[in-house]
Amino acid sequence: MHYFNINRRNFLKGTTASLALSTFGFQGIDLMNPTKTMRVGLIGTGWYGKSDLFRLIQVAPVEVVALCDVDKHQLAEAASLVSQRQKSKKKPRLYHDYQKMLADTEMDIVLIGTPDHWHALQMIDAVKAGAHVYVQKPISVDVMEGEAMIAAARKYNRVVQVGTQRKSTPHLIDAKKNIVDAGLLGKVSHVEMCCYYHMRANGNPPVEPVPDFLDYDRWTGPAPLRPYDGLPHTRWWRTFMAYSNGIMGDMGVHMLDTVRWILDLGWPKRVSSTGGIYVQKDGKSTISDTQSAIFEYDELNCVWQHRSWGTPANPDYPWSFTLYGEKGTLWGSVMAYDFIPMDEDQQKIHKDVVYEKEKYPEDLTEDRIELHAAPATRLHMLDFLKAIDDNSKPIADIEEGHISTASCIIANLSMKLGRPLAYDPQKRQIVGDPEANALLERSYRQPWEHPDPSRV
């Protein structure tokens, strides 16, 4: 759920659904002869909530039965679009209180597309209501929320897929299989990850009355109640640490998660980070505009860097990862990958993103769609459905989403405290650092209660 220019010259011919299914192992789903129409609800009907829902509608026989949003205008628009997109042409039930939606409506699947500060409570309540959940990344705004989300998913035996869809991105699956797993890199002992998009919303809009179509108190929920200074949707809320974990938690989580998947990495042994607001000091934004972090593994450092100003280190890979191996280097992004071997006699390998514009022509008219991400999200939804069908863990299981999210949160804590931190997931503690441990759980605004992993 990000912001960049699509290079339309890179359009490839669309792959067919059957090819995608056979290539990436989803033969077990019979889309033409479904045994059950899944009843679906969506909490958070903004840009990416709708985008995720439309990808699900494209690949599975679902009936969207309920939508929830605290913005009446956004909710009404979503209802109209859903009625046009789904096969039954019915309008879903509409709610502004997600808890009432969960209580009133029987749903097999709940999609969560709200801002980050709402993910934990909504996911936990949805699995308690009996639904499987697709929740956007980052999964949480503090580490203990993530621990509670895992505990709830396991206790109620629900499948929870996280929207880290790089794991379902066709060209990156190819890179993992045919470059990394095939041994073309050899031993990888250094990784660099970055984001240089100018995506940090900033400014000084005046405080104004809350419009009558927005329940701002409910939008804020457990987060601190900021003075209202305009609709928070899309980019504005992301510029405040009250609701998010900054660019580290938004963009860094994708790249760290992808690198962990490609290299089969778990929790980092230690995390350190420095940064702050170095350049863009003139607005209200509280997230860093410049940040570096090191995620340490055995004989491997994964280094993150973001700047929301200046130029990218490599204009072809402004949001990317680079794996440095003894036999070569792999550059990877949402748009392409490039393998550069050390041996000059060995052939370089390049692959571009896969588009499916012929198979899904409606993609081309959907407002604000990320065309490069649509095939990946469709495959991610199919993996989610297969896990539900098999009662197994999906590729982006909530525990994997937690490791990636919490690692980025811990990087932010390291930046705040000015020292490296080592998290022990068994004890759910930062090793030997009481001050850091006190920051693993944020204070909630009343009457909302922070979830406890031992009592979900």
Chain segment 239-268, per-residue pLDDT in tens: 999 999 999 999 999 999 999 999 999 999
Is the per-residue pLDDT at 4 higher than 70?
no
Count the neighbouring beta carbons within 10 Å of the beta carbon of residue 146.
28
Q: Do domains 8-167+374-398 and 170-204+214-354+401-437 have the same CATH topology?
A: no
Is the per-residue pLDDT at 338 higher than 60?
yes
**For the segment 203-217, what is each residue's pLDDT rounded down to a tens digit?**
999 999 999 999 999
- Which CATH number fits the domain 170-204+214-354+401-437, given the four candidates 3.20.20.100, 3.90.380.10, 3.30.360.10, 3.40.50.20? 3.30.360.10
Give the helix/strand (H/E) hosting 396. none
pTM confidence score? 0.93
Is the per-residue pLDDT at 15 higher than 80?
no
Residues 6+ apart with CB under 8 A from 281: none
Count the neighbouring beta carbons within 10 Å of the beta carbon of residue 270.
17
Is the per-residue pLDDT at 230 higher than 80?
yes
Q: What is the DSSP string of 211-246?
A: PTTB-HHHHHTTS--PPP-S--TTTTGGG-TTT--H
**In a 3-state reduction of DSSP, which class is residue 393?**
coil
Label residue 234 by pLDDT band (50, 70, 90). Answer: confident
What is the residue extent of each domain of the chain? 8-167+374-398, 170-204+214-354+401-437
Q: What is the mean pLDDT of the chain?
A: 93
DSSP state for residue 116 in the 8-state scheme: G
Q: CA 122 to CA 145: how far, in whole Å?
A: 11
Q: What is the CA radius of gyration of the chain?
A: 21
Q: Quick one: 447 exposed, middle or buried, by C-beta within 10 A (0-12, 13-18, 19+)?
A: exposed
What CATH class is the domain 8-167+374-398? alpha beta
Count the neighbouring beta carbons within 10 Å of the beta carbon of residue 391.
8
Q: What's the whole-number mean pLDDT along residues 359-376? A: 95
Asked if residue 47 lies in contact with residue 71, where contact means CB atoms within 8 angstroms, the answer is no
**For the segment 275-289, what is each residue's pLDDT rounded down to a tens digit?**
999 999 999 999 999
Give the helix/strand (H/E) hosting 282. none
Label residue 85 by pLDDT band (50, 70, 90). Answer: very high
